[in-house]
């Protein structure tokens, strides 16, 4: 298999899975981003020699191709990162990439992550939890964000009191609960974790210091410095904290931890992304490349971490050899 990049021929026979399905799309606001991540993962897996097939998820229904041995989850947001699809795959006994259902739910829920950070002594910006109709009494500038959402949907930096109403209205479009969080001035950095290997720190130099949706997904809009130009002590602390966050939330396989770095050198954890993007502007592939891991090898390493919490994975895999598996729309 001379076309395989970064994978020795001897390693191909060591793989647990070869016939894999890439789940992409889904019902969330991040559907289009998921399709892009999934398409990239599909190319990477095929480049490594996997018999990979795309499965575009619409709603909460999907069918795995006959003989599927494992699943690469490229679903972002609702149904993908909230533990729902993981619980379904656990019940089917189908191994999958990334964290299990419980850790995925915790990482997706910004309130749960805040509580986990504070319980483990991990610095995070101060916050208040709002329900619809609440009147925030919170010092500005502040960041408004839905509790369970990703890719900066519904996230706003509020600098003036006149901006708060519109920011809350948009955030509540995505969730019934919203966090208002202290804005930490300074720099934004992120650290990926790949099968417990901590990757180089990436600095995100966004326009006006705000890494919103357009800055994330418009090529050329944001500069990325990898490895970030940081003092060694801060770099090492960011990597240490990234693994501490990964463990505090019970994550497995892969994750990406986002920080704000204050002018005084303090690191504040914002969140962990349990299914980091794999698009042309995504951060995990940039960090992996800086660590000498080509994109196709990154996909292979992710696939090798696939596992599930199903009780009878072996018999379920045998049943899949002769027929496809369909998941009906959840009631």
**Residue 271 annotated in active site:** yes
**What's the pLDDT score for residue 320?**
43
Q: How far is CA 305 from CA 195, 198, 298, 302, in A?
A: 7, 15, 11, 5
Determine phi and psi for 199, rounding to 5 degrees: -85, 165
Nearest alpha carbon to residue 185 among 102, 263, 121: 263
3-state secondary structure of 207: helix
204 and 262 co-located in one domain:
yes
Q: Is residue 240 part of a domain?
A: yes
66 and 192 co-located in one domain:
no
Q: What is the pTM of this model?
A: 0.87
**Residue 235 annotated in active site:** no
The list of the chain residues with pLDDT below 50 reads 1-10, 311-324, 327-331
Q: 277, 300, 310, 320: which is the annotated catalytic residue?
A: 277
23 and 113 co-located in one domain:
no
Q: 212, 258, 310, 320: which is the annotated catalytic residue?
A: 258
Q: How many domains does the chain have?
A: 3
**What's the pLDDT score for residue 151?**
56
Nearest alpha carbon to residue 179 among 163, 162, 167, 161: 167
Query: Residue 39 is part of which domain span?
Result: 9-98+306-327
**Residue 282 annotated in active site:** no
pLDDT per residue over 190-238, tens digit each? 999 999 999 999 999 887 777 777 777 677 788 999 999 999 999 999 9
| CATH number reported for the structural domain that contains residue 154 in this entry | 3.30.1490.20
Q: Is residue 35 part of a domain?
A: yes
**Residue 273 annotated in active site:** yes
Determine phi and psi for 258, rounding to 5 degrees: -105, 140
163 and 41 co-located in one domain:
no
**Residue 151 annotated in active site:** yes
Q: Is residue 236 part of a domain?
A: yes
Separation between Cα atoms, residue 90 and residue 311, nearest integer Å = 8
Q: Is residue 296 part of a domain?
A: no
**Residue 30 annotated in active site:** yes
Q: 50, 174, 217, 268: which is the annotated catalytic residue?
A: 217
253 and 317 co-located in one domain:
no
**What's the pLDDT score for residue 219?**
75
112 and 248 co-located in one domain:
yes
How high is the mean pLDDT of the chain? Answer: 89
Separation between Cα atoms, residue 7 and residue 29, nearest integer Å = 35
Separation between Cα atoms, residue 291 and residue 227, nearest integer Å = 9
**Residue 262 annotated in active site:** no
Q: 28, 99, 273, 274: which is the annotated catalytic residue?
A: 273
Cα-only R_g, the chain = 20
Q: 25, 30, 212, 320: which is the annotated catalytic residue?
A: 30
28 and 87 co-located in one domain:
yes
Structure tokens at 70: 């494992």
pLDDT per residue over 37-75, tens digit each? 999 999 999 999 999 999 999 988 899 999 999 999 999
Q: 151, 274, 282, 316: which is the annotated catalytic residue?
A: 151
Q: Is residue 33 part of a domain?
A: yes
Q: What DSSP element (H or E) covers 118?
A: helix 110-119
Structure tokens at 275: 């299914």
**What's the pLDDT score for residue 249?**
97
Q: 256, 260, 317, 320: which is the annotated catalytic residue?
A: 256
Q: 271, 300, 316, 317: which is the annotated catalytic residue?
A: 271
Q: Which residues contact 303 (CB under 8 A, 6 or more apart)?
A: 15, 17, 20, 45, 48, 50, 70, 72, 97
């Amino acid at each position: 298999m001379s076309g395989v990049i970064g994978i020795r021929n001897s390693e191909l026979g060591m793989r647990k899975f070869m016939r894999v399905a890439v789940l992409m799309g889904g019902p969330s606001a991040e559907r289009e981003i998921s399709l892009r991540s999934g398409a990239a993962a599909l190319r990477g897996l095929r480049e490594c020699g996997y018999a990979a097939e795309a499965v575009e998820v619409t709603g909460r229904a999907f069918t795995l191709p006959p003989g599927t041995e494992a699943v690469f989850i490229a679903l972002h947001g609702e149904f993908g990162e909230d533990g729902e699809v993981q619980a379904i795959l656990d019940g089917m006994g189908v191994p999958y990439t990334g964290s299990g259902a419980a850790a995925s739910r915790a990482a997706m829920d910004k309130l749960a992550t805040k509580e986990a950070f504070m319980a483990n002594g991990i610095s995070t910006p101060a916050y208040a939890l709002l329900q619809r109709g609440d009147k925030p009494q919170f010092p500005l500038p502040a960041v408004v964000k839905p509790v369970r959402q990703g890719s900066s949907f519904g996230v706003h930096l509020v600098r003036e009191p006149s901006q708060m109403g519109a920011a809350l209205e948009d955030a509540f479009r995505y969730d019934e609960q919203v966090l208002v969080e202290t804005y930490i001035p300074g720099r934004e950095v992120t650290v990926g974790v790949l099968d417990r290997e901590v990757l180089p720190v990436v600095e995100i130099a966004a326009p006006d210091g705000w890494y919103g949706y357009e800055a994330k997904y418009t090529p050329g809009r944001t500069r990325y410095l990898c490895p970030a130009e940081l003092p060694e002590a801060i770099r090492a602390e960011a990597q240490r904290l990234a693994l501490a966050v990964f463990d505090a939330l019970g994550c497995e396989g892969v994750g990406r931890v986002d920080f704000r770095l204050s002018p005084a050198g303090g690191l504040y954890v914002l969140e962990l992304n349990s299914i980091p993007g794999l698009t042309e502007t995504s951060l995990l592939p940039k960090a992996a490349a800086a660590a000498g891991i080509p994109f196709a090898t990154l996909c292979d390493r992710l696939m090798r971490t696939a596992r599930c919490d199903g009780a009878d994975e072996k018999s379920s895999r045998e049943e899949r050899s002769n027929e496809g598996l369909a998941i009906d729309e959840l009631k």
